[in-house]
Amino acid sequence: MGVEVAVEGLSKSFGNQAIWRDVTLTLPSGEVSVLLGPSGTGKSVFLKCLIGLLKPEKGRVVINGVDLCSCPERDLYEIRKLFGVLFQDGALFGSMSIFDNVAFPLREHTKKSEKEIRDIVMSKMDMVGMLGAEMKLPGEISGGMRKRAGLARALVLDPQIILCDEPDSGLDPVRTAYLSQLLIDLNAQIDATILIVTHNINVARTVPDNLGMLFRKELVMFGPREVLLTSEEPVVEQFLNGRRLGPIGMSEEKDQAQMAQERAHVEAGHSDGALDEDLRGVVPQLEPTPGLPPRDAARRRRQRVMQILHTLPESAQHGILASLSRDDYERYQEWRRRTTGMPMPSSPTATLPREQTQVSQQLPTRPASRAGQPTQQVQRPPQQRPAAPPQPQQAPPTRPRPRPWRREEGQ
């Protein structure tokens, strides 16, 4: 089973430039977490601090009771054996074949025979779809293949903690879907603690148990996926919907004048780059491939969400309740009545079981306008088309009789 990673008051800077400050979060053992944030907010730096490649100025990273920020080098070396890391660019040795790259951790940290090493390496390469490319050099394969080879290397030691720095970059949407399913299957099989840094909104919505976001040198929020997916924070709404209108700019931050100008453009009818559909809301999470055991991490996360549900904003409560199955909803009703004595939130969809809410959510509605004015829906009586006048019946065409052939004069 994976181990818990506790981050307490972590701060990091390069010279006078602060990257982030006072970051506090806990990666629950055996669960999948995703860290979001605009480019340049220090997400990759955060991963490097977790494994001790960079030393923060303040704070602690505690794993199995050992603080990686202040422990001796010998203890840090042992703790690193718990990690499997997929770096952003693959980080393969250019002069070594793909096979030797993947086998490197086994030769470095174990005393396995070459036959055992080959069996493990070929198994992991088959898992990421890289069979047949084991003898090629990193420069002879595509960027996406190098990323998959890096993932195979991260898995050869069966780590308890897996860190993935943008695993979907350089991959097409189909391979990204396979990679997402692979991470969920790994978590179901070995219950590893997984942290993924990504910009892929579909991955962020469907894969993790927990979601967090870095912005303006701080951790905006971190917690169960249902909390962030229903959040009303402007930066979260803008990022999930991929629109220009909001606090995130090209240089991470934008001033009030630029925000006012962009809002005026939107109110004038200019698109801000987002779809009409609001992508916030709780969507079904990926499940393990049929035949694999169910994920204990999903059950633990749902229990935490139910315990804090009454503390969330009312809109978040409604969104979470509408996503529950009938059994989960009834269990929550009983638990809330027994422990808090508080009534259920009043909402036409919150009191419906999942089968009924899915029907109500499928009803077509027109989205609100960009200016923030709700679009009026006008009901018009059904119009009947006038009946077409009867067409006169025409006699079927007669085939002309063939003329007998006769020889022309002069032939």
Tokens of 366: 């027109």
pLDDT for the residue numbered 25: 96
For the domain made up of 5-231, the CATH class stated in words is: alpha beta
Q: What is the pLDDT of residue 362?
A: 37
Contacts of 319 (CB under 8 A, 6+ apart): 226, 229, 230, 281, 282
Strands 218-224 and 248-249: unpaired
Q: What confidence tier does 27 reach under pLDDT thresholds 50, 70, 90?
A: very high
* Spans of all domains in the chain: 5-231, 232-271, 313-360
Query: Which pLDDT score, from 0 to 100, does residue 358 have?
Result: 40
Residue pair 228/214 in contact by the 8 Å Cβ criterion:
no
Q: What would the mean pLDDT of 58-75 be, rounded to a whole number? A: 93
Beta-strand pair 5-14/58-63: antiparallel
pLDDT tens profile 317-354: 887 888 888 887 888 788 777 777 766 655 434 444 44
Is pLDDT above 50 for 409?
Answer: no
Range 365-386 average pLDDT:
42
pLDDT band, very low/low/confident/very high, at 252 (cuts 50, 70, 90): low
Q: Cα–Cα distance between 221 and 212 in angstroms, integer?
A: 5
More confident residue, 168 or 400: 168
Beta bridge partners of 220: none
**Chain segment 190-205, per-residue pLDDT in tens:** 889 999 999 888 999 9
Query: pTM of the predicted model, to two decimals?
Result: 0.77
Q: What is the mean pLDDT of the chain?
A: 80
